[in-house]
Structure 1
């Protein structure tokens, strides 16, 4: 992944469409970062804090086991036997804190080899119960992951009370110049039941750009949990089947 120096701020939208019974769709503005872990200290500017409070900020405590982010992802790769395969730069796509708060439904860790080719992606998923799980994705032959290639994994972690913990996720990651797109399809019994698309356009991570984002999207990260519960209420009113939350999986990372 190559991105112009410090064009690590993205604005765009997230779109969800539920298919079948209780069909439903919505879209919201999106704000996220995508930056190389080796340069994470360079996130800091007068309006953006690195491991410290600011108007916007990134805290390593919000990810993995809460310690050094790069050390954690390297350990994850090593335990999966991918340390030599994905021995290059790791980029993290995630939402920043705003006014000290963030809830990240999913963050993506893009793990490259030394030639700059993408070899693995970790989807780090959080739910509103304070639980988290990671899906470690690779190509079927552990080869290079091409732009838009489909990566699959079994669903093992509770996210929404209106879907059970079964089925499969199908991910696609697209990078076109300064535009980033993530597509996720959730299948049950071979049929798509949910489609999600996250898109973003990169912009410089500078104080003037952050002020523009604040004016345009103000409370976007603060509203994530509110919007999740609002959409859940709409699904309940449409008669979507409610599923109680099961115990989380024993493994923190699955592949």
Structure 2
């Protein structure tokens, strides 16, 4: 069984653990093993040809369906790049650089991604210029936040970003909150990946979430290994979301009804410095 990793080097597999810790008013903590694929969107056709266990826009053990992302129009055959570049141009940024998507694939045809992250490089190869955070909730809605990367985070080692919350996610968190992101971007020269998100109000942090993972070469052997070590992961994610919501409700957390999604599908925010 071929690994397919020798010909496609930018894409990779990241396996690790996600942790959420709610700080107030009801304390609550969860931690689960998960994995995500880091996919250079220009490599997707080559990956689908080389890997037996991964397909693009069709059923397989693992697959990525472009209609699951963005505005869904990538199903017309144009792919994800035009969608992401349209958001970059709307933010006054340049198109043409590498774009890497960190996301859970479909497993046996099913996927749910609470968060997918697009790392968007400068066209001149000088480093990151923006990150697009794509959020899905369990009510069938999707919204994204596009944040430019400041000079300090361009090398991907220490990225700090902030934006106001615009989109309903948890029924136990309102909208009058902000997100603070601290992360290291994926890099073939670094074995680890870290994404930290703090949800805060004017008083201070309300919830802290982290994803810490180790990089693996993306090939059939690695995919088979995570299929058996993380069986039916995407189904478990949805089950875990509802189970943890029940536990929070029992603890007395306040319920917030789901409002309509924002009129604009993408919120363009500034860097932390701005």
Would you identify which runs of 4 or more consecutive aligned residues in structure 1 move more than 6 Å? Answer: none
Report what 1:118 is aligned to: 128
Report what 2:112 is aligned to: 103
Q: Is the 8 A contact 1:139 1:145 kept in 2?
A: no
Which runs of 5 or more structure 2 residues have no equivalent in the other structure? 1-7, 269-274
Counterpart Cα distance in 2 of 1:120 and 1:190:
29
Which runs of 5 or more structure 1 residues have no equivalent in the other structure? none
Counterpart Cα distance in 1 of 2:176 and 2:165:
5
Counterpart Cα distance in 2 of 1:117 and 1:161:
37
Which of 87, 91, 105 is the aligned partner of 1:76?
A: 87
Superposed displacement of residue 144, structure 1: 3.3
Residue deviations 1:1-48, cap 9 Å, x none?
xxx815511111100000021100010011101121111112221111
TM-score (norm 2): 0.86
Q: Is the 8 A contact 1:88 1:112 kept in 2?
A: yes
Assess, with a 3 A threshold, how the Cα gap between structure 1 residues 38 and 128 changes in structure 2: closer, same or farther: same
Report what 2:4 is aligned to: none
Which of 37, 49, 58 is the aligned partner of 2:64?
A: 58
Counterpart Cα distance in 1 of 2:222 and 2:45:
19
Task: Describe how 1:112-151 pairs up with structure 2 within 5 A.
Answer: 112-113=121-122, 114-139=124-149, 144=154, 146-151=156-161
Superposed displacement of residue 147, structure 1: 2.0
Residue deviations 1:83-102, cap 9 Å, x none?
2xx54111111110000000
RMSD of aligned alpha carbons? 1.8
Counterpart Cα distance in 2 of 1:41 and 1:190:
47
Q: Is the 8 A contact 1:41 1:50 kept in 2?
A: yes
Residue deviations 1:31-67, cap 9 Å, x none?
1011211111122211111111100111111111221
Counterpart Cα distance in 2 of 1:178 and 1:88:
23
Q: Is the 8 A contact 2:153 2:159 kept in 1?
A: no
TM-score (norm 1): 0.93
Report what 2:191 is aligned to: 178
Report what 2:262 is aligned to: 249
Q: Is the 8 A contact 1:119 1:142 kept in 2?
A: no
Say yes or no: does 1:91 pair with 2:100.
yes
Counterpart Cα distance in 2 of 1:48 and 1:149:
31
Counterpart Cα distance in 2 of 1:124 and 1:43:
23
Superposed displacement of residue 142, structure 1: 10
Q: Tell me the SS of whatever aligns to 1:210.
A: helix
Report what 2:21 is aligned to: 17
Q: Is the 8 A contact 1:7 1:203 kept in 2?
A: no
Counterpart Cα distance in 2 of 1:212 and 1:139:
35
Residue deviations 1:213-242, cap 9 Å, x none?
111111111211110000000000000011
Report what 1:227 is aligned to: 240
Q: Is the 8 A contact 2:134 2:145 kept in 1?
A: yes
Superposed displacement of residue 209, structure 1: 1.4
